[in-house]
Chain A
Amino acid sequence: MTRLDLRLCAVSLLLILIFPLVVKDDYLIHLLILTALFAQSAAYWNLLDGYLGLIHFGYAAYIGIGAYTSALSAMHLGLPLPLCMLLGGLLSGILGVLLIIPCLRMVTFSTAIVTLAFGEIARIAASSWTTLTKGEMGLWGIPPLFASQSKLLFFYVGFGLLLVGSVLLKILLRSRLGLAVVAIREDEIAAFTSGIEINRIKLLISGISCFVAGVMGAFYAHYILTITPGLFSLGYTIQIMAMSMFGGKGTFLGPILGAFALIFLGEGFRFMEDYRMLIYGLLIIGVVMAFPTGLVGGINRLKKRIPSKR
């Protein structure tokens, strides 16, 4: 990132943080909270897929696991909510690591199938284990993170999590670990014979990525207060993937931009009613075809075309 990019990020962050103080529209604020959640999930899915090259089709399941773990431990064990959210993240992280162990010996496409299957199994488990999860009825009566009716606090916690998550992600990517991650994506065998313990790093990154999904799921649970097994569904994973690709897979800002773009485009197309998803889908396909590297790649290409003044 150049200094200009950094300044742009700082300004947009500031604008977003002031936004709910100026525009007191509860629905818009709600959308922004969801955006923060999706942006973080897309960014950490992108760490797995875009940076490490480990394709994951079951990512939403970890959001669901985090949500249910945190909600249930708050309801049944009465633990303080931040601790519940941490537990949700930890369980997701551990399960994230366990799932990748059998995938270490597989080619990419088998990993895609295994993760896809895991997502479905987790969803069905959440739906059938009715004594614990209340099944398709959904779990309700989850204690809220903040008692106040206002969404402001949720908004700031959501974006606070996104900010902290992004800073940590940037630090990770700039570290030696980040170099190893990209080297593995570029060529596993060359990375392995150059001294990188590729299996250890795949497990570590899966753990980190799923931990974050779990924490975000937990935040969601204590914000929305009702969760259903639908949270685990492939649909959400695909939405997260679409955001990441739309914004630019394998780039730092791409998934975050993608989350903003797709959530607000999706809202913007509401007037088309039945045709909404059709247009939305065509638009995603169009952008991905025009800019295979996503919005960020497209912007970078435009930047190169405009000769800089210096």
Chain B
Amino acid sequence: MASTLLSLKNVTKTFGGLRALDEVSLEIRPGEIASLVGPNGSGKTTLFNCVSGIFNPTQGEIRFRDRDLLPLSPAERCKLGIGRTFQVVRPFMKLSCLENVLVGAYFGQKNHPSEAVSEGRRLLEFVGLGERIDQPASGLRLAERKRLEIARALATRPELLLLDEVAAGLNPAEIEAMIALLREIHGQGITLLVVEHVMSLVMDISERVIVLNEGRKIADGSPRDVVNDPKVIQVYLGEEVALSEKVRG
């Protein structure tokens, strides 16, 4: 197994004059749980979109298992083993939960699965939607929709799962359950890259935390190192610190 699953080299993405990502380089190792954190607008979702192929970076290189991702469509990247969920959940509302997962199973894998339906049922049980198999996704609560998206992504048999704010908008009990679910998924050997604002989740599960600010990577290390990093403190408490500096000056 390669020592790097996903690597970004000097990835820049500009939208007009805005540099959403600015020379970001990072590596995700197989089997780890890494978190991507940073203030709003720091480029986390943009990074996910570049990796999953919603759009390509303006400059830079993205490789997955040493394969260049840029020429590949989102569907091809999915078949290669990159699954994702969305910050604003995007289940197929009018389809049943099972059909949602079947989409992933039928189209997201390299080889056609022989028992997609039973696998779909098993995955729905696994994420805790066993009771809802034949209900349309539109009838689900937010927490359930997030779980449905996870099941759909798992049905594509990903090696790397990109999770975009799976805990946002959930209550504390639901967050606890989500953490347990992520651990189980990780336990199956799936590498997780998590974008998250809910710090309890980040600190609880991450082996590594990557911090973005205004499109730049400003820290990358163990959770404890990162929270003690002065640059990170400045970003998160920046205004106050800067203000007090001014007052003092």
Interface residues of A (CB under 8 A from B): 176, 179-180, 182-183, 186-187, 189-199
Shortest Cβ distance from residue A230 to the other chain B in the assembled complex, whole angstroms: 37
Partner of B90 from A180, A187, A196 at Cβ < 8 Å: A187
- Interface presence of B103 (CB below 8 A): yes
Q: How near does chain A come to B84, taking the closest CB pair, in angstroms?
A: 6
The interface-forming segment of B93-101, B196-204, B206-214, B231-239 is: B93-101
Q: What residues of chain A lie closer than 8 Å to B156, measured between beta carbons?
A: 194-195
Asked if B103 and A180 sit within 8 Å, CB to CB, the answer is yes
List, in ascending order, chain B residues with CB within 8 A of A183's CB. 92, 95, 103
B residues lining the A interface (CB < 8 Å):
52-54, 73-75, 77-79, 83-84, 86, 90-95, 99, 102-104, 106-109, 149, 152-153, 156
Could you list some 29 contacts between A and B, CB below 8 A?
A: A176-B107, A179-B95, A180-B103, A180-B107, A182-B94, A186-B94, A190-B91, A190-B149, A191-B92, A191-B103, A192-B74, A193-B53, A193-B74, A193-B77, A193-B83, A193-B84, A194-B78, A194-B152, A195-B78, A195-B104, A195-B106, A195-B107, A195-B108, A195-B109, A196-B75, A196-B103, A196-B107, A198-B75, A199-B73
Q: A186-B94, A194-B156 are in contact. Are A179 and B102 (CB under 8 A)?
A: yes
Query: Which residue in chain B gives the minimum CB-CB distance to A182?
Result: B95
A196 to B108, CA, bound (A): 7
CA distance A195 to B73 in the complex (A): 9
Contacts of B79 in A (CB 8 A): 195
Chain A residues contacting B99 (CB-CB under 8 Å) are: 179
- Specify which of B106, B108, B149, B156 lies most central, judged by the most chain A CB atoms within 10 Å of its CB: B106
- State which of B54, B73, B94, B108 has its C-beta within 8 Å of the C-beta of A194: B108
Chain A residues near B107 (CB-CB < 8 A): 176, 180, 194-196
Minimal Cβ-Cβ distance residue in A for B101: A194
Given A183-B92, A187-B90 in contact, is the A193-B103 Cβ separation under 8 Å? no
Given contacts A182-B92, A183-B95, A190-B92, contact A197 B103 (CB under 8 A): no
Contact in complex: B73, A197 (CB < 8 Å):
yes
Q: B89 to nearest A CB, angstroms? A: 9
Determine whether the beta carbon of A190 is less than 8 Å from that of B86: yes
Are the C-beta atoms of A189 and B92 separated by less than 8 Å? no
> What is the chain A residue whose CB lies nearest that of B102?
A179
Complex Cα distance A112/B95, Å?
A: 26
6 closest Cβ pairs, A-B complex? A195-B108, A195-B107, A186-B92, A190-B90, A195-B78, A192-B74
A176, A194, A199: most-surrounded residue (chain B CB, <10 A): A194
Task: For the complex, give the distance between the alpha carbons of A291 and B86 in Å.
Answer: 33
Q: Is A179 a contact partner of B106 (Cβ separation < 8 A)?
A: yes
With CB as the reference atom, state the residue of chain B lying closest to A186.
B92
User: Which residues of the partner chain B approach A196 to less than 8 Å between Cβ atoms?
Assistant: 75, 103, 107
Q: Choose from A186, A189, A192, A195 the contact partner of B93 (Cβ within 8 Å).
A: A186
Cβ–Cβ contact B75 & A197, under 8 A: yes
CB distance from B120 to the nearest CB of A (A): 12
With a cutoff of 8 Å between Cβ atoms, the chain B residues found around residue A197 in the complex are 73, 75
Q: Closest approach, in angstroms, between the C-beta of A199 and any C-beta of chain B?
A: 8
B106 touches which of A176, A190, A198 (Cβ 8 Å): A176
Max chain A C-beta neighbours (<10 A), residue from B92, B94, B102 = B92
**Which of chain B's residues has its CB closest to A200's CB?**
B75
Taking A192-B73, A195-B104 as known contacts, 5 extra A-B pairs with beta carbons closer than 8 A to each other, sorted by chain A number, are A179-B103, A186-B95, A189-B90, A194-B75, A198-B75
Contacts of B152 in A (CB 8 A): 190, 194
Cα–Cα distance between A199 and B78 once the two chains are bound (Å): 15
Complex-state Cα separation, A193 to B45, whole angstroms? 14
